[in-house]
Structure 1
Amino acid sequence: MKVYLISKNTLEDGMSKFLRDRDLSWAHDNVCDPELVVEAAGRICYMSFGDKQHRKTTKEYISNILRQGHDSVLEHASFTILVDGLTRALSHQLVRHRIGFAYSQLSQQYHDESAAEFVQPHGLDENPELKTQWLQWCAATRAMHDSLRSVNLKVSAFSHLNAKEQQRHSRSMARSVLPNATCTTIMITGNARAWRHLLSIRGDIEGDIEMREYCVSIYQLLLNSSPSLFSGFEIIEDGLGRYVRSTCQ
């Protein structure tokens, strides 16, 4: 599994124009735009600019927001991440997180899955006999997929379909045998509050190794991009690998 940061929101010059129009000043750190957007949103609530600006650094301001639990302003910062090589099983878990997230996933109906890859479950290497059976099942599944994909619909009840719709139906038939282990690709946009919530409730589930690995990768990417917004977590290692744990009380 690989994760890529595709985009994050930017602070446009409208904020500077607003401050000039109100004859206000704003002293802040030279940090990433999502952190500035969050700070700006928080300060608007109290109009705490200029003489009313008590906390001078962005890091101090965001740390206080997190400490006080005023998470709503975090929703103004968004991050778009592309995840490649995760299983369909994991993607089904992720899309349950609807609030604060948007998803675009590789379609098994419109994309040719003849060369689809399957992700081997964790722990299977420790049982060679089962691994052999699993690999045989992978080969049989691909063969069945290709057989369904190549069905001649012109001699069936679907002969009235045009070429495009015939292809759609044949791929729909073929994808019916693709398992949860099938690799997929998904693009996810989420606000900082939603990402933090995901990490806090999914990052340390002991029996879900792929989810733990996903959360570690996501956390490292987001922390590197915006350290203030994603403080309050740590990476721990145990006998099952690494996981993300919240340090917030």
Structure 2
Amino acid sequence: MPKLFVLARPSFTDEFATFLAEENEVWRFAGGSAAERLVEFAGRICYMSFGRRQSPKRNSEYIGNLIRQGHESVLEHVSWTFLLSDVTRSFTHQLVRHRAGFSFSQLSQQYHDESDARSIVPEGLDDIPGATEVFERAVNASREAYRQILAKLASEPDQSKESLRAIRSAARSVLLNATETKIVITANARAIRHFLDVRGAIDGDVEMRRVAKLIYDVLIEDAPALVADFVEEKLSDGTPRIVKIRQLTS
């Protein structure tokens, strides 16, 4: 199963109070975590809607209205940094296609020796008679080929850093997409919402849906108003999917 570690969360300092005092303004905020208050504050700055110009909405209502109106740029001010492990290269090939609002740092097969790298058996493979055995043979064959190529190329006299990089680059070409990897991800709330929308309910990609659920769970805990228009459902096999409700109610 994929594992998610939260390395950094949004914060909101008291500097906003200094600014408001200089402007002779008062912000009567009601509810909200640090991430949610930062989103609301950024939204109110656009209109300086503080004091008498402030609507009586609670934080969750204010953010819900932003989302309903499609004014999600202010959600880009809050971001999370995650470490994902126990995921496949196949998964990360898809994940890194999300560029706007995302940053990635992944384990390099050019610098890391993958001789003992694990391979992750795709979910549901054991439901197909004989498929797991075929998979295991492919894993063993690719790992052995990797080791042999590495051993042959490593016997070359040039052992510089770039030479070793080239050796591992050649050897990694035989590794499977099922090879386990680790990746650090930083993403803002708007980008995460888009990821959940387009990836959270893909019936044919269990690994992607499991990761979407892990990220969704973090935002539900840290800033539920930012994902209030998403719900978790279960497929018939018990695996999760994250579904967007197309219209938030007021």
What does residue 47 of structure 2 align with?
A: 46
What is residue 176 of structure 2 aligned with on the other side?
179
Q: Which residue of 2 aligns with 1:193?
A: 190
Q: Which residue of 1 aligns with 2:214?
A: 217
Q: Deviations over 1:153-182 (max 9, x none)?
A: 454xxx4x3432332122112211111111
Within 5 Å, which residues of 2 pair with 1:118-137?
118-137=119-138
SS of structure 2 residue aligned to 1:46 = coil
Which range is displaced more, 12-21 or 161-170? Answer: 161-170
Of stretches 35-44 and 124-133 in structure 1, the one that deviates more from structure 2 is 124-133
- The answer to whether the aligner puts 1:76 opposite 2:77 as a matched pair is yes
Structure-1 separation of matches of 2:112 and 2:149 = 15
Cα RMSD over matched residues? 1.6
Q: Is the 8 A contact 1:216 1:242 kept in 2?
A: yes
Counterpart in the other structure of 2:200: 203
CA contact (8 A) 1:27 1:56 kept: no
Q: Is the 8 A contact 1:36 1:58 kept in 2?
A: yes
Quick one: distance in 1 between partners of 2:198 and 2:159?
47
Matches for 1:44-193 after TM superposition, within 5 Å? 44-155=45-156, 159=157, 161-193=158-190
Would the alpha carbon gap of residues 154 and 129 (structure 1) be closer, same or farther in structure 2, given more than 3 Å must change?
closer
Q: Specify the alignment match of 2:244 in structure 1.
A: 246
CA distance in 1, matches of 2:230, 2:57: 24
Number of aligned residue pairs: give it.
245
Secondary structure of 1:176's match? helix
- Cα distance in 2 for partners of 1:80, 1:231 equals 21
Deviation at 1:233, TM superposition (A): 0.8
TM-score of the aligned structures, taking structure 1 as reference length: 0.93
Show the counterpart of 1:22: 23
**Aligned mates of 1:29, 1:37 — CA distance in 2:** 13
* Distance change in 2, residues 1:152/1:204 (3 Å): closer
Secondary structure class of the residue paired with 2:46: helix
Is the 2:119–2:139 contact (alpha carbons within 8 Å) kept by the matching residues of 1?
A: yes
Q: Which amino acid aligns with 1:65?
A: L
1:56 and 1:25 mapped to 2: Cα distance? 15
**Which 4+ stretches in 1 moved above 4 angstroms?**
152-155
Please state if 1:3 is matched with 2:11: no
Q: Distance in 1 between matches of 2:177 and 2:56?
A: 49
Q: Structure 2 stretches of 5 or more lacking a match?
A: none
What SS class does the counterpart of residue 104 from structure 2 fall into?
A: strand
Query: Matches of 2:161 and 2:97 in 1, distance apart?
Result: 31
How far apart, in 2, do the equivalents of 1:29 and 1:89 lie?
44
For the Cα contact (< 8 Å) 1:203–1:244, is it kept in 2? yes
Offset at residue 81 of structure 1 (A): 1.3
Contact 1:90-1:210 within 8 A present in 2 as well = yes
Distance in 2 separating the partners of 1:108 and 1:134: 21
Query: In the aligned structure 2, how far is the partner of 1:168 from the partner of 1:96?
Result: 25
CA distance in 2, matches of 1:29, 1:108: 49
- The worse-fitting range, judged by mean Cα deviation, of 216-225 and 38-47 is 216-225
Question: Residue 185 of structure 2: SS of its match in structure 1?
Answer: strand
The sequence identity of aligned pairs, in percent, is 43
